[in-house]
């Protein structure tokens, strides 16, 4: 593949873009239950117009782009207010993974400074915590210890406490976890950390811009934010239920002293003084501006409306799924993310049957389950989804269990009998993503 000798016209490019888009799942039509958090055409217009206006701006240069400095500062201030402490401080990042990397980096460097006798720092996280913690530990030379969950699909507090050692620098809880949508007991976890003088991070990438509005609607939301003594940092994704463009998250700290351990600087580079608050150097200013514009556009009322409709749809789906013979929603999810499965038939076969009906449902593993992330975009399709799900369940109920060869990004590898090479399979899959396929 080489650059075309003659550049394509805009019409030719548009034609190719539209043609390739037909191969994607119909996410705008509500057929996709993960990856996309679509909140309406009006939201898309605000994001698109703002993004275009700030397309070439760079968050690396706050003195050149004073507007971005204002926008990021105000996004962080609004996020702090939502998370229970107007004095909390933070930064925007490119996603939940970078936010978690920054929280881990801050914890590691805090430990080097405050408890230098710890030479092999440890993080303790639930087994359901996002793999970004594994990535952070791998990149930053920190040991990660995972502890199991209880029958209610929340972290086992006794086993978490038993896992703490003199090398532990931070405990982690999820609000909620991705697989089951359940919130760990953050007050208990933070209390353990506070009693030992160590840090406590809450991964609220999913819930940070959803749970505060549930609470405002009168929903019973467990305490998870900076109102909990001992919580020292929180990650919350703008590009999930904040409904912003992809590549926008926040990492928040209770105080600025802890955040300083996140930063990087070098004073003697020939190119000049260098400093960056997060992992990246150049940062897309368009994403910062678009997030600010969207939060201004939606306001509290706009978020409340979308959270209410999403929770109404979630309850309809949970009730409808539980009414289908052989299907059960797992646990008691705390928000609009949940898992369901079957003890009677192969739910992976059910996923395949639904795919034939144009629905794309994510698969979980250990144990096998299916997974839904409900958004405002699913309100209009919930009834048809339940109708098709009942029909597909009837279709596969009497089929013998089969081992599916269609692993999902976040799971389904349990179906491979020989797990010794699973990581190689994952790496081979990643390697294939940038290889051109023959038509």
Digit-coded pLDDT (tens) for 277-329: 999 999 999 999 999 999 999 999 999 999 999 999 999 999 999 999 999 99
Same domain as 347, residue 279: no
Range of the domain at 291: 49-295
What is d(CA 390, CA 396) in angstroms, rounded to the nearest whole number?
A: 10
- As a whole number of angstroms, the distance between CA 237 and CA 217 comes to 21
Distance CA 78, CA 86 (A): 8
* CB atoms closer than 10 angstroms to residue 58: 17
pLDDT (0 to 100) of residue 407: 47
Q: What's the whole-number mean pLDDT along residues 117-137?
A: 97
* Bridge partners, residue 13, by sequence: none
Beta carbons of 206 and 184 less than 8 angstroms apart: no
Phi and psi angles of residue 50, each rounded to the nearest 5 degrees, phi first: -70, -45
CA distance 166 to 146: 16
The answer on 244 and 384 residing in a single domain is no
Q: Average pLDDT for residues 257-285, to the nearest whole number?
A: 92
Enumerate helices (H) and strands (E) in the chain, giving the number of each: 13, 13
User: Residue 32 domain-assigned?
Assistant: no
Position 311 in a domain? no
Asked whether residue 139 falls in the same domain as residue 271, the answer is yes
Residue 392 region by backbone torsions, left for phi larger than 0, else alpha for psi between -120 and 50, else beta: alpha
CATH assignment of the domain containing 373: 3.90.1150.10
The confidence score (pLDDT) of residue 409 equals 43
SS3 90: strand
Answer yes or no: do 240 and 376 share one domain. no
Q: What was the pLDDT predicted at 366?
A: 87
Contacts of 203 (CB under 8 A, 6+ apart): 96, 100, 129, 130, 133, 172, 173, 174, 175, 177, 234, 235
Residues 142 and 246 in one domain: yes
Residue 381 lies in a domain: yes
295, 326, 359 - which closes a domain? 295
Do 291 and 347 fall within a single domain? no
Q: Do residues 195 and 76 share a domain?
A: yes
Do 277 and 369 belong together in one domain?
A: no
Q: Which one of 295, 330, 365 terminates a domain?
A: 295
Largest CA distance in the chain: 71
Asked whether residue 326 is assigned to any structural domain, the reply reads no
11 part of a folded domain: no
pLDDT per position as a tens digit, 34-69:
999 999 999 999 999 999 999 999 998 888 999 999
> Which residues make beta-bridge pairs with 237?
249
Specify the long-range contacts of residues 271-276, CB closer than 8 Å, at least 24 apart. Answer: 276/60
Are 98 and 160 in the same domain?
yes
Instruction: Check pLDDT > 60 for residue 410.
Output: no
Number of separate domains in the chain = 2
Q: In the prediction, which pLDDT does 214 show?
A: 98
Residue 194: is its pLDDT beyond 80? yes
2 in a structural domain: no
Is residue 301 a part of any domain in this protein?
no
> pLDDT value at position 426?
65
| CATH number for the domain harbouring residue 263 | 3.40.640.10
Assess whether 95 and 159 both reside in one domain. yes
- Show which of 295, 319, 334 is a domain's final residue: 295
Domain annotation covers residue 117: yes
Q: Say whether both 283 and 350 belong to one domain.
A: no
- The mean predicted confidence, pLDDT, of the chain is 92
The stretch 68-80 carries a mean pLDDT of 96
- DSSP-derived secondary structure letter, 361: -
Same domain, 78 and 184: yes
Q: Strands 143-147 and 168-174: what pairing?
A: unpaired
Strands, E assignment, 61-102: 89-93
């Amino acid at each position: 593949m080489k650059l075309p000798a003659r550049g394509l016209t805009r019409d030719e490019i548009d034609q190719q873009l539209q043609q390739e888009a037909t191969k994607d799942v119909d996410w705008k039509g509500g057929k996709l239950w993960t990856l996309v958090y679509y909140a309406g055409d009006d939201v898309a217009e605000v994001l698109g117009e703002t993004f275009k206006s700030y397309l070439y701006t760079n968050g690396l240069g706050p003195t050149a782009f004073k507007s971005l400095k204002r926008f990021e500062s105000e996004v962080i201030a609004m996020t702090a207010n939502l998370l229970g402490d107007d004095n909390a401080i933070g930064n925007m990042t490119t996603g939940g993974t970078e936010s978690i990397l920054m929280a881990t980096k801050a914890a590691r460097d805090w430990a080097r400074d405050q408890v230098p006798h710890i030479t092999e720092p440890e993080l303790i996280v639930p087994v359901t915590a996002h793999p970004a913690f594994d990535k952070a530990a791998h990149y930053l030379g920190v040991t990660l210890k995972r502890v199991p969950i209880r029958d209610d699909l929340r972290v086992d507090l006794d086993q978490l406490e038993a896992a703490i050692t003199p090398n532990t620098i931070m405990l982690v809880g999820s609000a909620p976890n991705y697989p089951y949508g359940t919130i760990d007991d953050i007050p208990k976890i933070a209390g353990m950390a506070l009693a030992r003088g160590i840090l406590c991070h809450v991964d609220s990438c999913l819930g940070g811009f959803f749970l505060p509005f549930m609470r405002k609607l009168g929903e019973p939301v467990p305490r998870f934010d900076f109102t909990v003594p001992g919580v020292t940092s929180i990650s919350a994704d703008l590009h999930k239920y904040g409904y912003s463009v992809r590549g926008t998250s926040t990492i928040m700290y209770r105080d600025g002293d802890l955040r300083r351990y996140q930063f990087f600087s070098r004073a003697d580079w020939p190119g000049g003084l260098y400093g960056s608050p997060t992992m990246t150097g150049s940062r897309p200013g368009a994403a910062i501006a678009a997030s600010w514009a969207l939060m201004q556009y939606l306001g509290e009322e706009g978020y409340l409306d979308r959270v209410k409709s999403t929770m109404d749809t979630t309850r309809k789906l949970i009730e409808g799924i539980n009414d289908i013979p052989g299907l059960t929603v797992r646990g008691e999810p705390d928000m609009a993310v949940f898992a369901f499965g079957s003890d009677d038939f192969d739910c992976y076969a059910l996923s395949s049957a639904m795919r034939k009906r144009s629905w794309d449902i994510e698969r979980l593993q250990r144990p096998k389950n299916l997974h839904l992330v409900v958004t405002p975009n699913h309100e209009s399709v919930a009834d048809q989804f339940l109708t098709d799900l009942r029909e597909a369940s009837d279709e596969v109920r009497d089929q013998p269990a089969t081992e599916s060869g269609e692993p999902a990004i976040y799971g389904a590898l349990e179906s491979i009998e020989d797990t010794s090479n699973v990581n190689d399979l994952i790496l081979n899959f990643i390697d294939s993503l940038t290889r051109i396929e023959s038509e």
